[in-house]
Structure 1
Amino acid sequence: MFKKIVLASAAAALLALSVPASPAFASKCSPEEIKEFDHKREELFRYLEHAKKEHNNAAVKNIERDMDKLNKYVRQKCE
């Protein structure tokens, strides 16, 4: 159970980072921050794919929610 919660949280974090790096973001976010966001996005995506393969719908929903939160955070911070 704990593993599923951790996977869901990680996946959500990746989804949140799914905002693509663009010149607009680069102007307000440092290159290190952009790399960190990209890394989190990739990590969440891996967790999401794993949850989908296991047909863990609850984890998929949590990961997608976390990805949305990450996307909103990146937009607010970098735009």
Structure 2
Amino acid sequence: MDQQLNIQSQQKDLYISKERGLVPLATSIDIPQTSPGETVELSVTFKAPSYPCTTISYWKSVDKDTQALFPNKEELSCLVNVIAL
């Protein structure tokens, strides 16, 4: 099956995609040693959906054993609005 499926109904055309929202090109990023109160800039590249939508990617800080570092805190998120040109 292709990346997308177009369905026509009596009311309008529906667009259904197999794509799964905002897809990071890396599933993890290293965070440099950071002291309390210090800030650090992080960078992630995403592949956005090919259709107009609003999509979000959530990230959690974990240690080398993938245990959550801040389990009761809100995730870091990246919200993207995809528009048609």
State TM-score, norm by structure 2: 0.22
Could you say which structure has the larger radius of gyration? Answer: 2
Q: Could you say which structure has the higher helix fraction? A: 1
Q: Could you say which structure has the higher strand fraction? A: 2
Using CA pairs under 8 Å that are at least 6 residues apart, name the structure with larger relative contact order, 1 or 2: 1
